[in-house]
Amino acid sequence: MLPTTMKAVLVTEPGGSDKLKIAEVECPKPARGEVLIRVAAAGVNRPDVLQRLGLYPPPAGACPRLGLEVSGEVVATGGGIGASLQGKNVMALVNGGGYSEYVVAPAGQCMRVPSGLGMVEAASLPETYLTVWQNLFMKGGLQAGHHVLIHGGSSGIGCAAIQLAKMHGAFVHVTVGDQEKANFCKKLGADFVYLYKQEDWSQAVLNNTGGQGAEVILDMVAGEYVDKNLSCAKPGAKVIVIALLGGRFVTLDAAKLMAKQIVLTGTTLRPQTSEFKAQLSRVVESVLEKGFSSKQLQSVVQAQFDLERVADAHDLMESGKGMGKIVLKVSE
């Protein structure tokens, strides 16, 4: 028997983490093509913080509550998807509402939990790995032997990017804010780590690639980074912007784009169609199974908090001290 109400995190008004509160809300019902997940754990991502601040409104049709990824048990299914998911433990990218006891997800966005992983670790995977796969491999065409530059190396996204790139035989360059983060990224497999507050990372990438530059650059900073990315991109490189932590407006030397025939692009996962996310989920599901079972991938959960401590989880993320992922524990 499913409950009619459940606990969920609400944002009372845009602002600080004090605007987060737990309330009793109506339990969602799965529509055709959807499942209802009893949430075990929910991943915390920077876009949740931006949404709480009022800077990242959810796309039309998405649940307006926070939470983009969960793990848990499928406890009910809508029509049109058969019975194979019923009662299964899954991890899933959700269209909002993950910070709650129950959430609906399109069936195609549910993925098998990789062998040997617990539900807390599983909840930390969908958002970052789907984002990174889409950008490094689908958009960026990253291949073995390529050099890839990843900004924000110690972030949730950065950790997934370092590990996936190493798993696929690339040389990994990352930028980080301090030495502790540098050591962390080295342990995860990064080949070259640059402390962006102390050194000219763009010149360093050129030095470490024999003057050639990187084939793929994954940029969550934008702002002043974009032109510097063009300086250390190899001719024909893909430079992909996925966030604007350093500012949305950019001055760049377009001559570098022309002379090197660089492709400058960007993506955002959330507004993509369910069909696209389902296809991406099938690919990433098998990459994760292979990566975790061969130990080429490892979980990077830095901290876990009970749902009631959601404000502490957001404070940790905003402190800038985060390395890896933060997860909310919702049920046993």
Ligand X SMILES: NC(=O)c1ccc[n+]([C@@H]2O[C@H](COP(=O)([O-])OP(=O)(O)OC[C@H]3O[C@@H](n4cnc5c(N)ncnc54)[C@H](OP(=O)(O)O)[C@@H]3O)[C@@H](O)[C@H]2O)c1
Kindly list the residues in this chain that would bind ligand X in the complex (CB under 6 A). 45-47, 50, 127, 131, 152, 154-157, 176-177, 181, 220-221, 242-243, 245-246, 267-269, 317, 320, 322
Label residues 117-140 b or e (16+ Cβ within 10 Å = b): bebbbbbbbbbbbbbbbbbbbebb
Q: Least distance from C-beta 103 to ligand X, angstroms? A: 18
Q: What is 204-219 written as a DSSP string?
A: HHHHTTTT--EEEEEE
Query: 46: part of which helix (H) or strand (E)?
Result: helix 46-52
CA atoms within 13 A on the CB side of 218: 33
Least Å distance, CB 79 to ligand X, is 30
**Nearer residue to ligand X within complex by CB, 30 or 322:** 322
First-to-last alpha carbon distance for the chain, in angstroms, is 18
8 with 100: CB under 8 angstroms? yes
Q: Of 36 and 92, which has the nearer Cβ to ligand X? A: 92
CA distance 312 to 44: 11
**Strand (E) or helix (H) holding 228:** helix 225-231
Please, which residue, 6 or 288, has the CB nearer to ligand X?
A: 288
- Count CB-CB contacts under 10 A for residue 326: 21
Of the pair 211, 320, the CB lying nearest ligand X is at 320
- Give min distance, CB of 253 to ligand X, in A: 21
If you ran DSSP here, which 8-state letter would residue 327 be given? E
Select from 220, 281, 241, 311 the least CA-distant residue to 94: 281
Cβ closest to ligand X, residue 108 vs residue 158: 158
CB nearer to ligand X: give 81 or 313.
313
Secondary structure of residue 275 in the 3-state scheme: helix
| Nearer of residues 249 and 255 to ligand X, judged by Cβ | 249
Amino acid at 307: L
Provide, rounded to whole angstroms, the least separation between the CB of residue 117 and ligand X: 19
From the CB of 84, what's the least distance to ligand X, in Å?
Answer: 29
Which residues are registered as beta bridge partners of 36? 76, 104
| Beta carbon nearer to ligand X, 132 or 206 | 132
Question: Is the CB of residue 194 less than 8 Å from the CB of residue 207?
Answer: no
Q: From the CB of 151, what's the least distance to ligand X, in Å?
A: 6
Tokens of 250: 């950019």
Q: Minimum CB separation from ligand X for residue 289, in Å?
A: 22
Q: Residue 248 CB: number of other CB atoms within 10 A?
A: 10
Nearest distance in Å: CB 65, ligand X: 17
